[in-house]
């Protein structure tokens, strides 16, 4: 999200080439497949700039140079393909812009040449929330963080906790209490480590896993600020032996359920707030009006939503409808092919959340776009 805001805040004066590469290993596992995709995107960029209306000779020359630079970069060993599921590159040589963003989710390969960086796929990729996953046993803990489909182990904690013995006699209860105190000390150490990591990483959601009898005991030791982020359910995995890939797979079901609940809550607010005086706007006209008034708390978009819009290059006013002049300052309106892009840009400009509603069809009656309002 920060990368998208930074790109949009630059307000480049010249056209920007935005390229997205899909690096999904199921489709583009080999260098040859990736090179073929790069070649196709570079060819598309060359054709687009030749067809771009209104370009002066020097603008075309500069864009051709940008395409050549992108070709060299994406065909070299310099591009950071390793560890990414997608790669976004934004280039405008005349504005001194060349930025690469690694994404942890696959996005559709595309290339655009527009007045602003095309950040809609970037937003949809990074709106996935950041997770913290904690797996605990009586002696061991493993801590993971990152987007749900890109979790990485941050830390492993091992404590010297004695095992239980089966000898009888008066010492048995005292020994058992001693062992349980060691377990509690271990869990408190883990809880404090999680608290520090949560504050450092600012994870949005926290998931716990481990033995059924131990997880509630550990959960009770976590501070209230983390309790507010806990997701329902428990990961039933073996703390010692489960691989990172198996943990990501186990987390996926929790993420799916959590996304559904989060979207449902937003859509219920939308249904309750749409109407005269309500704190919600439904449909392109009302949503654009709320964005122009800077009242949007959360922008809700259906995955396939898009429409044409105009945007004033001076005041940033968004308008639907025919060409003409901005009613606010008389400036000639700039044709925009993507209302989705312009709406996301406007939402980010007022620090609004952007939510792509993937699991419920409720945005259908609103033509795929709506907003929750601050006032």
pLDDT (tens digit per residue) in 50-85: 988 778 899 999 999 999 999 999 998 888 988 788
- Within a domain: residue 268? no
According to DSSP, residue 359 is labeled: S
Give pLDDT tens digits for 10-49.
Answer: 777 889 999 999 988 778 868 888 999 999 999 999 999 9
Name beta bridge partners: 155.
143
Look up the CATH number of the domain holding residue 200.
Answer: 3.30.420.60
Instruction: Name 134's bridge partners.
Output: 143, 208
- Let me know whether 206 and 178 are in one domain: yes
Q: Of 259, 288, 303, which one is at a domain's C-terminal end?
A: 259
Q: For residues 59 and 94, what is the distance between their CA atoms, to the nearest angstrom? A: 9
Residues 196 and 222 both lie in one domain: yes
Which pair of structure tokens corresponds to residue 129?
A: 């929330």
User: Is residue 362 within 8 Å of 271, Cβ to Cβ?
Assistant: yes
Q: Please list the residues that pair with 14 across neighbouring strands.
A: none
**Residue 181 resides in a domain:** yes
How far is CA 220 from each of CA 170, 185, 215, 245, 348, rounded to the nearest angstrom? 31, 13, 9, 28, 37
CATH number of the domain encompassing residue 375: 3.30.1330.30
Q: Do residue 140 and residue 110 come from a single domain?
A: no
Q: Residue 70 domain-assigned?
A: yes
Q: Which of 78, 99, 126 marks a domain boundary?
A: 126
CA distance 25 to 100: 19
- The listed range with the strongest mean pLDDT (4-13, 233-242, 310-319) is 233-242
Q: CA 183 to CA 291: how far, in whole Å?
A: 53
Same domain, 122 and 98: yes
Q: What pLDDT, in 10s, does the model give residues 261-287? A: 999 999 999 999 998 778 999 999 999
* Number of structural domains the chain divides into: 3
Torsion-angle region of 180 (φ positive above 0: left; ψ -120 to 50: alpha; else: beta)? alpha
Beta bridge partners of residue 98, listed in sequence order = 91
Residue 354: which of 306, 305, 298 has the closest Cα?
A: 298
Q: Is 248 contained in some domain?
A: yes
Q: Assess whether pLDDT exceeds 50 at residue 170.
A: no
Q: Quote the pLDDT of residue 233.
A: 87
**CATH number of the domain residue 68 falls in:** 3.30.960.10
158 and 106 housed in the same domain: no
Q: Which of 194, 100, 147, 119 is nearest to 347 (CA)?
A: 119
pLDDT beyond 50 at 159: yes
| Residue 370 covered by a domain | yes
Q: Judge if 1 and 92 occupy the same domain.
A: yes
Q: Is 269 part of a structural domain of the chain?
A: no
Residue 243 lies in a domain: yes
Q: What is the pLDDT of residues 78-135, one digit of tens each?
A: 889 887 888 999 999 999 999 999 887 788 899 999 888 888 787 776 666 889 999 9
For residues 135 and 237, membership in a common domain is answered with yes
The residue range of the domain holding 113 is: 1-126
Contact 247, 145 (CB under 8 A): no
Answer yes or no: are the C-beta atoms of 241 and 156 closer than 8 Å: no
Question: What's the residue count for the chain?
Answer: 375
- For 219-237, what is the mean pLDDT? 92
Same domain, 319 and 224: no
Residues 134 and 37 occupy one common structural domain: no
pLDDT of residue 169: 43
> Which of the listed ranges 52-56, 127-131, 157-161, 288-292 does the model predict with the highest average pLDDT?
288-292
Q: Can you tell me which residue has the tokens 């003409």?
A: 324
Is 264 domain-assigned? no
The residue written with tokens 């920060």 in the block is 2
Predicted confidence at residue 165, as pLDDT, reads: 46
151 shares its domain with 39: no
Is the domain of 177 the same as that of 71? no
- Residue given tokens 């608290």 in the structure block: 195
- From the number of C-beta atoms within 10 Å of its C-beta (0-12, 13-18, 19+), residue 168 rates as exposed
Residue where a domain terminates, one of 126, 158, 191: 126
Statement to judge: residues 319 and 367 lie in one domain: yes
Read off the pTM: 0.73
Query: Strands 296-301, 369-373: parallel, antiparallel or unpaired by DSSP?
Result: antiparallel
């Amino acid at each position: 999200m920060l990368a998208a805001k930074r790109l949009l805040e630059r307000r480049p004066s010249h056209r920007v080439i935005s390229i997205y590469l899909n690096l999904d290993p199921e489709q583009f596992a080999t260098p040859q497949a990736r090179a073929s995709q790069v070649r196709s995107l570079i060819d598309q960029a060359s054709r687009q700039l030749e067809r771009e209306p209104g370009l002066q000779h020097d603008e075309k020359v500069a864009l051709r140079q940008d395409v050549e630079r992108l070709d060299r970069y994406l065909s070299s060993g310099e591009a950071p393909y390793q560890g990414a599921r997608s790669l976004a590159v934004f280039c405008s040589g005349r504005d001194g812009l060349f930025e690469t963003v690694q994404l942890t989710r696959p996005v559709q390969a595309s290339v655009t040449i527009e007045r602003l960086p095309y950040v809609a796929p970037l937003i949809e990729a990074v709106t996935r929330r950041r997770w913290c996953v904690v797996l605990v046993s009586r002696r061991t803990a493993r801590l993971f963080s990152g987007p749900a489909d890109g979790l990485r182990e941050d830390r492993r904690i091992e404590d010297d906790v004695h095992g239980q013995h089966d000898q009888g006699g008066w010492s048995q209860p005292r020994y058992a209490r001693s062992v349980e105190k060691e377990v509690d000390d271990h869990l408190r150490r883990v809880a404090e480590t999680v608290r520090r990591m949560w504050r450092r990483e600012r994870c949005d959601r926290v998931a716990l896993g481990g033995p059924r009898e131990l997880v509630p005991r550990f959960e009770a030791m976590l501070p209230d600020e983390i309790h507010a982020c806990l997701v329902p359910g428990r990961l039933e995995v073996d703390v010692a032996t489960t691989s990172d890939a198996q943990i990501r797979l186990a987390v996926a079901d929790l993420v799916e359920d959590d996304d559904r609940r989060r979207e449902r809550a937003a859509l219920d607010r939308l249904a309750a707030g749409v109407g005269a005086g309500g704190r919600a706007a439904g449909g392109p006209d009302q949503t654009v009006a709320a964005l122009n008034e800077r009242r949007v708390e959360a922008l809700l978009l259906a995955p396939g939503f898009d429409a044409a819009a105009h945007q004033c290059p001076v005041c940033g006013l968004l308008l639907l409808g025919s060409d003409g002049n901005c009613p606010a300052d008389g400036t000639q309106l700039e044709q925009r092919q993507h209302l989705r892009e312009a709406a996301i840009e406007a939402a980010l400009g007022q620090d609004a959340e952007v939510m792509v509603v993937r699991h419920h069809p409720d945005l259908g009656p609103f033509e795929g776009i709506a907003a929750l309002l601050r006032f």
